C-alpha cells in the first residue's frame, strides 16, 4: 500500500469517528422524551429568617442553594434561570463570593458538560427578575425569551428598585421574545413543558411544569416558595410584591400538583437540591 493510500484510509477512518461523535451528540440533543438537567450555582448564606416570617428554630435549613435548569425536549431546549454569580466573575478555579452569594463553579461549563452551548438554547425563561436568578441571563439573549409582560415592564422601567441587577439581563431587551399577559404557555405545543403564570413574589413570577416519562410531573417552582416550611405553614416572605397574588398562585400550583401527582422542586431548598442528580446527569 502506498503511503498516500494509507493516509487516505486513515483520513477516512478519522472522518467516520468524527461523524459517529457528531451523531451521538445530535442524538443526545434530541432525546425521545423531555429531560431536566440541574445546575449548581452556589449558595446564599447568612439570611435572616425574619425576612421570611420565620424564627430560626422553625426552619430545618436557613441557607439557600442557587440553581438553574435546562429542559431538553425532542423539539428544542428551555433554559430556566441563570444563577446568582456571573461566570465572568470567576478567575481561575477559586470560589467567588458576592455579598451573601457565593459559587464554586460557573454555569456555562456545566451546560457544556451536558452537551449544550448558549447557541443551542431555543427558549430562555426566568422564574423572576431577582438578581439571584439573573446573573448569566445575558448569555441567553440569542434564545427566545419567555416573559410575562408585567415582569418585563418592571425589569425595563427607568429605575427599577429592589433585589435587581439590570446589567445582568440588559441584552434580553432586544431578544426575540414571547411576551405573556399573566398566562400560561405550552412551550413545545404538546403539553409536556408548560410555563405557568404565578404572580405574587414579583409581578410576573412564573414556574415550569414538566411531564417526564419516568419521574412523572415536576414543577420547577422558582421562588413560589423558598423554604419547605412555607408550604406547611402558609407563611409568605415579608418582601412579596403582592401577598394576595402569591397565595392564589400557591393554591393553584398545589392543586395542580395534587391533580398530576406531581412533585415540586423549590429552587432554593438545600434538601431538594441535594437529592437531585446534577448535570451532566439528568432526570427524565
x-or-dash pattern for Zn ion, window 108-137, by CB under 5 A? ----------------------x-x-----
Which residue's CB is nearer to Zn ion, number 116 or number 140? 140
Q: Which is nearer to Zn ion, 41 or 217 (CB)?
A: 41
CB atoms within 10 A of CB 72: 27
Angle at 186 between CA 160 and CA 123, to 5 degrees: 55
- Give min distance, CB of 150 to Zn ion, in A: 18
Site for Zn ion in 4-43 (CB under 5 A): none
Smallest gap from Cβ 50 to Zn ion, in A, equals 17
Min. distance of Cβ 126 from Zn ion in angstroms? Answer: 10
Stretch that binds Zn ion, among 112-120, 150-158, 174-182, 215-223 (CB under 5 A): 215-223
Among 178, 150, 146, 77, which residue's Cα sits nearest to residue 118?
77
Cβ distance 104 to 95 under 8 Å? yes
Binding segment (CB under 5 A) for Zn ion, from list 21-29, 49-57, 199-207, 221-229: 221-229
Q: Which is nearer to Zn ion, 130 or 205 (CB)?
A: 130
> For the chain, how many residues are written?
284
Q: How far is the CB of 101 from Zn ion (least distance, A)?
A: 10
Pick the closer one to Zn ion by CB: 76 or 84.
84
| 223 binds Zn ion, rule: CB under 5 A | yes
Rounded to a whole number of angstroms, the minimum distance from the CB of residue 229 to Zn ion is 16
Q: Quote the least distance from Cβ 106 to Zn ion, whole Å.
A: 19
Q: Which region, left, alpha or beta, applies to residue 85 given φ > 0 means left and ψ of -120 to 50 means alpha?
A: beta
Q: Which of residues 145-184 bind Zn ion (CB under 5 A)?
A: none
Minimum CB–partner distance for residue 83 and Zn ion (Å): 11
Closest CA to 42 of 112, 90, 91, 113: 90
Between residues 151 and 223, which has the closer beta carbon with respect to Zn ion?
223
# residues contacting Zn ion (CB under 5 A): 3
Pick between residue 77 and residue 202 the one whose CB is nearest to Zn ion. Answer: 202
Query: 72 vs 107, which CB is nearer to Zn ion?
Result: 107
In the complex, which residues of this chain contact Zn ion (CB under 5 A)? Answer: 130, 132, 223
Amino acid at each position: 500500500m502506498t503511503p498516500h493510500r494509507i493516509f487516505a484510509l486513515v483520513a477516512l477512518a478519522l472522518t467516520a469517528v468524527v461523524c459517529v461523535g457528531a451523531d451521538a451528540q445530535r442524538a443526545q440533543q434530541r432525546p425521545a422524551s423531555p429531560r431536566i438537567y440541574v445546575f449548581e450555582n452556589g449558595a446564599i448564606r447568612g439570611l435572616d429568617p425574619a425576612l421570611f416570617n420565620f424564627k430560626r428554630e422553625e426552619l430545618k435549613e436557613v441557607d439557600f442553594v442557587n440553581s438553574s435548569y435546562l429542559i431538553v425536549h425532542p423539539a428544542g431546549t428551555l433554559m430556566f434561570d441563570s444563577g446568582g454569580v456571573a461566570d465572568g466573575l470567576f478567575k481561575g478555579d477559586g470560589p467567588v463570593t458576592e455579598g451573601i452569594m457565593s459559587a464554586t463553579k460557573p454555569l456555562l461549563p456545566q451546560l457544556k458538560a451536558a452537551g449544550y452551548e448558549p447557541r443551542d438554547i431555543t427558549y430562555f425563561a426566568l422564574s423572576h427578575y431577582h438578581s439571584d436568578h439573573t446573573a448569566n441571563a445575558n448569555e441567553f439573549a440569542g434564545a427566545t425569551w419567555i416573559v410575562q409582560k408585567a415582569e418585563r415592564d418592571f425589569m425595563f422601567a427607568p429605575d427599577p428598585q429592589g433585589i435587581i441587577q439590570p446589567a445582568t439581563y440588559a441584552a434580553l431587551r432586544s431578544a426575540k421574545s414571547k411576551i405573556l399577559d399573566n398566562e400560561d404557555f405550552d412551550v413545545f405545543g404538546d403539553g409536556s413543558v408548560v410555563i405557568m403564570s404565578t404572580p405574587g413574589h414579583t409581578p410576573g413570577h412564573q414556574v415550569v411544569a414538566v411531564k417526564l416519562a419516568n419521574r412523572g410531573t415536576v414543577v420547577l417552582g422558582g421562588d413560589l416558595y423558598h423554604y419547605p416550611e412555607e408550604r406547611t405553614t402558609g407563611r409568605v416572605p415579608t418582601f412579596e410584591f403582592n401577598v394576595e397574588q402569591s397565595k392564589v398562585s400557591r393554591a393553584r400550583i398545589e392543586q395542580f400538583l395534587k391533580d398530576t401527582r406531581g412533585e415540586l422542586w423549590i429552587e432554593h431548598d438545600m434538601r431538594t437540591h441535594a437529592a437531585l442528580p446534577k448535570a451532566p446527569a439528568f432526570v427524565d
